[in-house]
Amino acid sequence: MRREWGDAYQTNLRTIFTWLDKLPAAERERIESAEDVRGTLVLNNPQWLRHLLRQAQDVVPASSVVEEIARIEGWMRADPGTPTGRKYWGDEKVQARLRELYQERGNG
């Protein structure tokens, strides 16, 4: 899936798991423990991951991307020497996440 989804790999997985977290516990557990006909967990099956991503994209609102961008941009605008500023300026993963979100939003 990393090859197929490329830079969107982490975003796609995050979208799937955000969707799963919104499901009732019993339904989420059924999906997380479900196996395909070969006995592979569906969460390890590329065909199922594609299907789950389509389902998740229909449910997980795009506004969550906008909200996350706004939160990280707030950290970015803060003085780098403050605890709030260090959340962005001191964390390469957060900076990478913002770039990923910009791409997902469509102007990255």
Give the pLDDT confidence score for residue 63 in this predicted structure: 61
Q: Determine how many CB atoms are found less than 10 A away from the CB of residue 53.
A: 20
Q: Is 39 left (phi over 0), alpha (psi -120 to 50) or beta?
A: left
Give the pLDDT confidence score for residue 89 in this predicted structure: 96
d(CA 105, CA 66) in angstroms, rounded, equals 8
Give the pLDDT confidence score for residue 107 in this predicted structure: 55
Q: What is the dihedral of CA 43, 47, 53, 56, to 10 degrees?
A: -70
Q: Which secondary structure element, helix H or strand E, spans residue 23, and what is its range?
A: none
Angle between the N-to-C axes of helices 25-33 and 9-22, in degrees from 0 to 180, rounded to the nearest 10: 140
pTM of the model: 0.57
Give the pLDDT confidence score for residue 86 in this predicted structure: 94
d(CA 90, CA 33) in angstroms, rounded, equals 37
> Which residue ranges of the chain lie beneath pLDDT 70?
60-63, 107-108
Q: Where are the domains of the chain?
A: 2-59, 63-105
Strand partners, 35: 41
Give the pLDDT confidence score for residue 60 in this predicted structure: 66
d(CA 59, CA 68) in angstroms, rounded, equals 17
Give the pLDDT confidence score for residue 61 in this predicted structure: 63
